[in-house]
A = this chain, B = another copy of it.
Amino acid sequence: MKRRNTPSKQAVLDVLIQSGQAMSHDAIEGQLEMDINRATIYRILNQFCEDGMVHTIVANDGKHYFALCNNSEIAPSGFHFHFSCTKCKTISCLDQEVQLNLPPGFVMEKANCVVTGTCQNCV
């Protein structure tokens, strides 16, 4: 399927760029000026993920958070940790690669690593 540019996609992208954080569907919808249907927002986000512009984090609340990929993340298997601050509620990408010694026979395809605590802005 060839992608088409639409105001909705642009609006969702703008919200993600402007925030600089990983955002849930909920938070994205809250920041949108335009009204966009929930299903549509999810479809847009999933499309961004397919296209490698965005990656998802599954946080401790079980919700999916969506964050822009920066260029260094384009590298294959560049899985990194995420930090979830319980005070300011932000979820951000850490500059820490996930690396571990798997037992023989195990093959890692992806990783979802979320560290929870308090961030540097919250004392």
Contacts and interface: CB of A to CB of B under 8 A. Distances in A.
A60 B103 contact: no
Interface in A77-123: 81, 83, 86, 94-96, 98, 100-121, 123
As for how many copies of this chain the complex holds, the number is 2
Given A98-B115, A110-B117, A112-B113, 14 more contacts: A58-B62, A81-B100, A83-B106, A94-B100, A94-B102, A94-B103, A95-B103, A98-B113, A100-B115, A106-B117, A107-B118, A108-B115, A108-B116, A110-B116
Interface of A: 58-60, 62-64, 81, 83, 86, 94-96, 98, 100-121, 123
29 contacts: A58-B60, A58-B62, A58-B114, A60-B110, A62-B62, A62-B63, A81-B100, A86-B109, A94-B102, A95-B103, A96-B100, A96-B102, A105-B119, A105-B121, A105-B123, A106-B117, A106-B119, A106-B120, A108-B116, A108-B117, A109-B117, A109-B118, A110-B116, A110-B117, A111-B113, A111-B116, A112-B112, A112-B114, A112-B116
